[in-house]
Amino acid sequence: MISGRFCFFMVIAIMALTFGYASDSEKFTDRRDGKTYKTVKMPDGKVWFAENLNYQTGNSWCYENENPNCMKYGRLYDWATSQKACPEGWHLPSDDEWNELTDCIGGSGSSGKKLKAKSGWIKEGIQAVKCANNRNSGSAGSGGIRSGELCDDEGGNGTDDYGFSALPGGWLNANEKFINGGHAGFWWSSSEKDAKNALQRLIDFRLDGVSRSSDPKTYGGSVRCVNDVAQKKTCKQDTVKLGIIESAMILRKPTRDKQEIMKVVNAQMHGLRAIYTRYLKLYPGFSGKVVVKFTILPSGEAVNTQIVSSTTDQPDFDEEIKNNVETWKWEAVGSGNVTPTIPFSFME
């Protein structure tokens, strides 16, 4: 369970209408190395790789430096390398393109399950042998997998509604450690958060959504290439939010109220939940409270984010929470900065 204790509260009602969509699968051969990739036209009108890029170049790695993992999950690239890794005629998707994709298939809160492959998560993934070994030995296996962890839950597979076939290739963190292979996938976008961090998307085996966050550019993440030629959008779903619609140019609010702040906070809790779930897998029983302070500019951007206090004893976790909050966006207002301080409590 993840919860935040706040001085104010607001319930948001969202109504989503979703209709079916038939994907159009093709293949593409990379002339650089002769590898052939499945591609798929998604409802956003773009043609995406239906598997992760596996082009060998500098600053790219196989998970745990084992070639079979590259064959199944593609290579992991640092952010700078990911910018130029796709073949000619293809590119790394921007943050906006990731948003368009997830919005078009039901929103970030439910699109992960639709993008995940129907198999290959948890027991079928990288952790399968480790889990079996841990059952027999009763001790932690390589990669920090603890006895029984992730071994008895096969709920991570998706429905693969569009043929995107996302698989949990894990990633390489700032400590040059491969983590979360078999139960989470991390995909770069071409968009920067700042000089040191870039925006990415994460899909976790225990969650149905797609999380948006920022991480250091030195991380190793997966790459999905998108064709440079956009086609007609075939999105068959609309999301209708109940509420008052105001023109940002004509009826812009003079200041920002507490209910508006909480509306965004509540909508973004799934991202914090995804981060907590990942750490909970590595550290069973992990819990604590993180107090975050940040400033919301009139433009709606969150800046000057800082950790006021924390009881987690996990600096990397706290940093991920801070980085996630920095990606949140509010509607623009006429004037005035607002600086909320919010405690988030994390517990099973």
Ordered by where they begin, the domains of the chain are 16-121+156-227 (no CATH), 251-346 (3.30.1150)
CA distance 23 to 46: 11
| DSSP-assigned states of every residue in 121-178 | SGGGSTHHHHHHHHHHH-S--GGGPPTTTTTS--TT----TTS--B---BEE-TTS-E
pLDDT tens readout for residues 267-312: 888 889 889 888 888 888 888 999 999 989 888 888 889 998 889 9
pLDDT in the model for residue 236: 52
CA distance 6 to 193: 27
- Long-range CB contacts for residues 28-34, cutoff 8 Å, separation at least 24: 28/87, 28/90, 30/55, 30/87, 31/87, 31/88, 32/87
| DSSP-assigned states of every residue in 224-286 | --EESS--------EEEE-S----TTTS--SS--HHHHHHHHHHTHHHHHHHHHHHHHHSTT-
What letter represents residue 204's amino acid? D
pLDDT tens readout for residues 73-119: 999 999 999 999 999 999 999 999 999 999 899 888 889 999 999 99
pTM beyond cutoff 0.75:
no
Rounded to an integer, the average pLDDT of 52-61 is 98
CA distance 11 to 267: 10
Q: Which residue has the tokens 């700032």?
A: 174
Q: Could you give phi then psi for residue 287, rounded to 5 degrees?
A: -155, 170
Average pLDDT, the chain: 80
Per mean pLDDT, which range of 148-152, 174-178, 272-276 is the poorest? Answer: 148-152
Q: Is the dihedral of CA 70, 50, 165, 107 positive or negative?
A: positive
Question: Which residues does residue 3 pair with via DSSP β-bridges, in sequence order?
Answer: 345
Q: How far is CA 303 from CA 130, 175, 293, 339, in A?
A: 41, 26, 10, 9
Q: Which residue has the tokens 């956009």?
A: 230
SS3 call for 301? strand
Q: How many CB atoms lie within 10 A of CB 148?
A: 12
Q: How many CB atoms lie within 10 A of CB 153?
A: 13
Q: How far is CA 323 from CA 96, 197, 261, 320, in A?
A: 18, 9, 18, 5
Residue 152 above 80 pLDDT? Answer: no
Split at pLDDT 50, 70, 90, the class of 20 is: very low
Name the region of 336 (left: φ>0; alpha: ψ -120 to 50; beta: rest): left
Q: Which structure tokens are listed for 270? A: 């799934």
pLDDT tens readout for residues 313-333: 888 899 999 999 989 988 888
Q: How far is CA 20 from CA 51, 104, 105, 114, 235, in A?
A: 22, 11, 9, 11, 9
Per mean pLDDT, which range of 30-34, 137-141, 180-184, 215-219 is the poorest? Answer: 137-141
Residue 126 above 60 pLDDT? Answer: no
Residues 6+ apart with CB under 8 A from 2: 269, 272, 273, 276, 344, 345, 346, 347
